[in-house]
Amino acid sequence: MRKTLIAGNWKMNLTVTEAEKFFKAFKIQKKEGTELLFCPPFTDIPIARFFLDRSSIRWGAQNVYPEEKGAFTGEISAPMLKDLGCSYVICGHSERRQILGESDEFVARKVKAVLENDMIPILCVGETEEERKEGQTEERIGSEIRTALFALSKEETAKMVIAYEPIWAIGSGQAATPKDAEEIASFIRKTVKEAAGKKAADEVRILYGGSVNGDNISHFLKQKNIDGALIGGASLKPDTMIDIYNKA
């Protein structure tokens, strides 16, 4: 039985002062079977920990550097995130792939480092609008997933979360249809099965991300292969995130 995951990705938003205000306003009634996660910027992780420590809500990071320590100015390692109590780390968000030029191979190293430090990677995959029009969606996503899983054991793969985030749907207000998202989620599960076997494919959690809000969340969560959502813009407002969690 896969546990639903509702994950907020704050991206580069909210100062420590603003994050403090957010968490003071964020009150939920815990629901069994649904996990809630916030991935704030690195600078807000200690404040997230302060507010969420004695709750059921988890916190994580939006990125990691694959080496443990050393001369990597400006970077943050997986042991550093683990020490801050992070449970999850987003790896290979399309903004990092596109703006910072992260390759599938580099993302794969991050996924491995996160697992080796007892945290759960949220591997983001997704196609551009052009790739979608050209019918290359499965080719792109298949390759992103196969590269990320290449160096993992079946047990490691089973622990992962894979977020299907069509790039054209991120921050655009134009979400994929639940039917289209389910079709790709099913393809992702099939790809995991081919790479790591049935048990891993049955256990891996698949999220949909891209303009999710309080109005469309229920439609995505009704789909057989969609186990939750990765939420950007809508996760920045306490009321909207509470609404999404309550509907999950």
Residues lying near ligand PEP in the complex (CB under 6 A): 9, 11, 165, 170-171, 209-212, 230-234
Please report how close the Cβ of residue 246 comes to ligand PEP at its closest, in angstroms: 18
Determine contact, residues 156/195, Cβ cutoff 8 Å. no
Report the C-alpha dihedral over residues 206, 211, 214, 217, rounded to 10 degrees: -30
Binding-site annotation: residue ranges: 9-11, 171, 211, 232-233
Q: Which is nearer to ligand PEP, 209 or 228 (CB)?
A: 209
Please report how close the Cβ of residue 175 comes to ligand PEP at its closest, in angstroms: 8
Q: How many CB atoms lie within 10 A of CB 118?
A: 10
Distance CA 59, CA 7 (A): 9
Please report how close the Cβ of residue 210 comes to ligand PEP at its closest, in angstroms: 5
Structure tokens at 28: 């939920």
Binding-site annotation: residue ranges for substrate: 9-11, 171, 211, 232-233
Please report how close the Cβ of residue 70 comes to ligand PEP at its closest, in angstroms: 29
**Catalytic site residues?**
93, 165
Q: Which is nearer to ligand PEP, 7 or 115 (CB)?
A: 7
Determine contact, residues 27/242, Cβ cutoff 8 Å. yes
Q: Which is nearer to ligand PEP, 60 or 232 (CB)?
A: 232
Please report how close the Cβ of residue 155 comes to ligand PEP at its closest, in angstroms: 27
SS3 per-residue string spanning 158-205 = HHCEEEECCHHHCCCCCCCCHHHHHHHHHHHHHHHHHHHCHHHHHHCE
Please list, in sequence order, all residues whose beta carbon lies within 8 angstroms of the beta carbon of residue 161, skipping any fewer than 6 positions away.
5, 7, 88, 120, 121, 122, 123, 204, 205, 206, 207, 228
SS3 123: strand
Distance CA 217, CA 46 (A): 29
Q: Which is nearer to ligand PEP, 55 or 213 (CB)?
A: 213
Q: Which is nearer to ligand PEP, 142 or 214 (CB)?
A: 214
Residue number, nearest CB to ligand PEP: 232
